[in-house]
Amino acid sequence: MRASPLPRFFLAAYVLLVAYAALVIDPQLAELFKSDDAREIQFILPRFIGERVPLWAQIMFFGALLSAILSTASGALLAPTALFTENVLRPFFPRMGDRQFLLTLRIVLVAFTLAALLFGLNSKSTMYEMVQNAYKVTMVGALVPLVAGLFWKRATAAGAMTSILLGLSTWLLAEAFAADGLWPTQFVGLGFAILGMVAGSLASRAPAHMPHVPPA
């Protein structure tokens, strides 16, 4: 049976309630909202827990927080590793054995982990902004090929590749040069991804062969 989303909803609501209570108990924490660095807001709840609650509650809170982070991080790394290795790399090496495939999985996992670590260390975005950007990448790069592959009979691999490249490139260009434009950058990338899917699939589709009519 499918798990109910209600426990997660109540857990998120409880965390927000505790964070609000922290501001009520210690109004000085509200000064973090005035900081030039938006990342300071993230320290409201950890700072309150570290300064205002007993040791046993700190252990329970930070233990649960660490468990949630590790669980989310493992899924966020293992899923793209498996998808990338199976659907992108393996078609180029059709004779790859199980041992070589497992080694490739581990190498890709380490590469993705290092890339995520470097991004996190060098980024000045908040956790919310990094999660938001991660879903933007999925939206402009994976949504259109997935939906077209499921529901459009004329979709081809060339169209999917064109959609991914066009969607990601236009989104990155929009983020660099028109981040404050009229249209959100992810919608610009999504529009070009749809255009690339349609154009690439129709252009790569083999023409229909005319039936051979014997001469009279």
Per-residue pLDDT tens digits for 33-72: 565 665 666 676 777 777 778 888 888 888 887 887 788 7
Phi, psi at 117, each rounded to 5°: -65, -45
Q: How many CA atoms lie within 13 A of 211 on its CB side?
A: 2
- Distant-in-sequence, close-in-space partners of 142: CB < 8 Å, separation ≥ 6: 164
Please state, as a whole number, how many other Cβ atoms lie within 10 Å of the Cβ of residue 29. 20
The answer to whether the predicted template modeling score (pTM) of the entire model surpasses 0.75 is: no
If residue 39 lies in a helix (H) or strand (E), which one and from where to where? none
Q: How confident is the model at residue 1 (pLDDT cuts 50, 70, 90)?
A: very low
| Torsion sign across C-alpha atoms 128, 10, 18, 30 | positive
* Contact by Cβ (8 Å): 19, 45: yes
Looking at residue 103, its pLDDT comes to 92
- Here the tokens at position 156 are 């081809």
If residue 117 lies in a helix (H) or strand (E), which one and from where to where? helix 98-122
**Is 11's pLDDT higher than 80?**
no
Q: Using CA atoms, how far apart are residues 171 and 193, in angstroms rounded to an integer? A: 10
Q: At what angle do helices 44-52 and 55-84 cross, to 10 degrees?
A: 150
* Contact by Cβ (8 Å): 48, 62: no
Give percent of the chain above pLDDT 70: 75
- Here the tokens at position 3 are 């798990």
Q: How many CA atoms lie within 13 A of 25 on its CB side?
A: 14
Per-residue pLDDT tens digits for 86-139: 877 888 888 888 889 899 999 999 998 998 888 878 877 777 777 777 788 888
Q: How confident is the model at residue 83 (pLDDT cuts 50, 70, 90)?
A: confident
